Structure 1
Amino acid sequence: MYKLHTLKNGVRVVSEYIPYVRSVSLGIWIGTGSRSESKKNNGISHFIEHMLFKGTVNRTAKDIAESIDCIGGQLNAFTGKEYTCFYTKTLDTHLDIAIDVLSDMLFNSKIDQNDIDIERKVILEEINMYEDSPEELVHDILSEVIWAGNPLGYPILGTGESLNQINREEILSYMRDNYTPANTVIAIAGNFDYEKTMDLISNKFEKWKVENNKQSVYSETKFNNDIIFRFKDTEQAHICIGFQGIEQGDDSIYDLLVINNIFGGGMSSRLFQKIREEKGLAYSVYSYPSSYQKAGLFTIYAGMNPSQISEVVKLIFEEINLLNKNKIAEEELIKAKEQLKGNYILGLESTSSRMNSIGKSELLLRKIRTPDEILDRINLITVETVSNMIDRIFSNKNISISVVGTIDENLDLKKLII
Structure 2
Amino acid sequence: MTLSVSHRKSGDTTTTGRQTTAGRSSGSAQRVGTTRTLETVTDASGAVTSRVRRTVLPGGLRVVTEQMAGARSAAVGVWVGVGSRDESAQLHGCSHFLEHLLFKGTGSRSALDISVALDAVGGEFNAFTAKEYTCFHARVLDEDLPLAIDVLGDMITDSALTSEDVEAERDVILDEIAMHDDDPDDVVHNLFAAQAWGGDTPLGRGIAGTTDSITALSRAQIVRFYRRHYRADRMVVAAAGNLDHASVVRQVRKAFGRNGFLDGDATPVAPRGATRRIPVRPGVAHATRPFEQVNLVLGMEGLARDDERRFALGIVNAALGGGTSSRLFQEVRERRGLAYSVYSFGSSHAETGLIGVGVGCLPGKVDDVLAVVRAELARLAADGITADELRIGKGQLRGGLVLGLEDSASRMSRLGKGELVHQELLTLDDVLARIDAVTLADCQQVAADVFANPELLAIVGP
- Give the Cα separation in 1 of the matches to 2:342 and 2:221: 41
Q: Is the 8 A contact 2:105 2:159 kept in 1?
A: yes
Deviations 1:221-243 (A, max 9, x none): 22111101101122100101121
Superposed, 1:241-256 pairs within 5 Å as: 241-256=298-313
Compared CA separation, residues 48 and 212, structure 1 to 2 (3 A): farther
Q: Is the 8 A contact 2:300 2:354 kept in 1?
A: yes
Indicate whether 1:141 and 2:191 are aligned.
yes
Q: Is the 8 A contact 1:283 1:304 kept in 2?
A: yes
Of 181, 206, 217, the match for 1:166: 217
Q: Which residue is 1:188 aligned to?
A: 239
- Give the Cα separation in 2 of the matches to 1:128 and 1:8: 42
Indicate whether 1:23 and 2:79 are aligned.
no
Q: Which residue is 2:167 aligned to?
A: 117
Instruction: Give the partner amino acid of 2:206.
Output: P
- Give the Cα separation in 1 of the matches to 2:166 and 2:256: 26
Q: Which moved more, 1:244-253 or 1:130-139?
A: 244-253
Q: Which moved more, 1:244-253 or 1:384-393?
A: 244-253
Deviations 1:12-33 (A, max 9, x none): 1111110211000000000111
Instruction: Give the partner amino acid of 1:183.
Output: R
Q: Is the 8 A contact 1:180 1:210 kept in 2?
A: no
Report the alpha carbon displacement of residue 178 of structure 1 after superposing the two structures with TM: 1.1
Indicate whether 1:336 and 2:387 are aligned.
no
Deviations 1:162-209 (A, max 9, x none): 111211111111112111112111111111122211111122335415
Indicate whether 1:297 and 2:360 are aligned.
no
TM-score (norm: length of structure 1): 0.94
Q: Which residue is 2:256 aligned to?
A: 205
Superposed, 1:16-55 pairs within 5 Å as: 16-55=66-105
Of 111, 119, 129, the match for 1:61: 111
- Give the Cα separation in 1 of the matches to 2:399 and 2:368: 34
Identical counterparts, % of pairs: 37
Report the alpha carbon displacement of residue 8 of structure 1 after superposing the two structures with TM: 2.2
Q: Which residue is 1:394 aligned to?
A: 451
Q: Which residue is 2:375 aligned to?
A: 318
- Give the Cα separation in 2 of the matches to 1:360 and 1:167: 31
Instruction: Give the partner amino acid of 1:338.
Output: G
TM-score (norm: length of structure 2): 0.85
Give SS of 2:89's match: coil
- Give the Cα separation in 1 of the matches to 2:381 and 2:279: 24
Report the alpha carbon displacement of residue 211 of structure 1 after superposing the two structures with TM: 8.9
Q: Is the 8 A contact 1:11 1:185 kept in 2?
A: yes
- Give the Cα separation in 2 of the matches to 1:34 and 1:41: 9
Of 199, 205, 227, the match for 2:284: 227
Q: Which residue is 1:413 aligned to?
A: none
In structure 2, stretches of 5+ residues that fail to align are: 1-50
Give SS of 1:348's match: coil
- Give the Cα separation in 1 of the matches to 2:170 and 2:88: 18
Instruction: Give the partner amino acid of 1:322.
Output: R
- Give the Cα separation in 2 of the matches to 1:339 and 1:217: 30
Give SS of 1:260's match: helix
Q: Is the 8 A contact 2:58 2:262 kept in 1?
A: no
Q: Which residue is 2:127 aligned to?
A: 77
Report the alpha carbon displacement of residue 217 of structure 1 after superposing the two structures with TM: 4.0
Report the alpha carbon displacement of residue 119 of structure 1 after superposing the two structures with TM: 0.5
- Give the Cα separation in 1 of the matches to 2:59 and 2:225: 20
Q: Is the 8 A contact 1:245 1:296 kept in 2?
A: yes
Aligned residues: 405
Report the alpha carbon displacement of residue 396 of structure 1 after superposing the two structures with TM: 3.8
Report the alpha carbon displacement of residue 348 of structure 1 after superposing the two structures with TM: 1.3
Report the alpha carbon displacement of residue 362 of structure 1 after superposing the two structures with TM: 0.8
Q: Which residue is 2:408 aligned to?
A: 351
Q: Is the 8 A contact 2:294 2:461 kept in 1?
A: yes
Q: Is the 8 A contact 1:242 1:400 kept in 2?
A: yes
Q: Is the 8 A contact 1:5 1:13 kept in 2?
A: yes
Deviations 1:85-123 (A, max 9, x none): 000000000111001100010111110111111101000
Indicate whether 1:108 and 2:165 are aligned.
no
Q: Is the 8 A contact 1:57 1:110 kept in 2?
A: yes
- Give the Cα separation in 2 of the matches to 1:279 and 1:308: 11
Report the alpha carbon displacement of residue 250 of structure 1 after superposing the two structures with TM: 2.1
Report the alpha carbon displacement of residue 38 of structure 1 after superposing the two structures with TM: 1.0
Indicate whether 1:308 and 2:365 are aligned.
yes
Compared CA separation, residues 135 and 145, structure 1 to 2 (3 A): same
Q: Is the 8 A contact 2:272 2:421 kept in 1?
A: no
Report the alpha carbon displacement of residue 289 of structure 1 after superposing the two structures with TM: 0.6
Give SS of 1:228's match: strand
Q: Which residue is 1:179 aligned to?
A: 230
- Give the Cα separation in 2 of the matches to 1:331 and 1:274: 17
Give SS of 2:90's match: coil
Q: Which residue is 2:460 aligned to?
A: 404
Q: Is the 8 A contact 1:180 1:215 kept in 2?
A: no
Give SS of 1:251's match: coil
In structure 1, stretches of 5+ residues that fail to align are: 407-418
Compared CA separation, residues 294 and 229, structure 1 to 2 (3 A): same
Q: Which residue is 2:384 aligned to?
A: 327
Of 263, 281, 284, the match for 2:338: 281
Q: Which residue is 1:416 aligned to?
A: none
- Give the Cα separation in 2 of the matches to 1:107 and 1:347: 31
How big is the alpha-carbon RMSD for the aligned residues of Structure 1 and Structure 2? 1.6
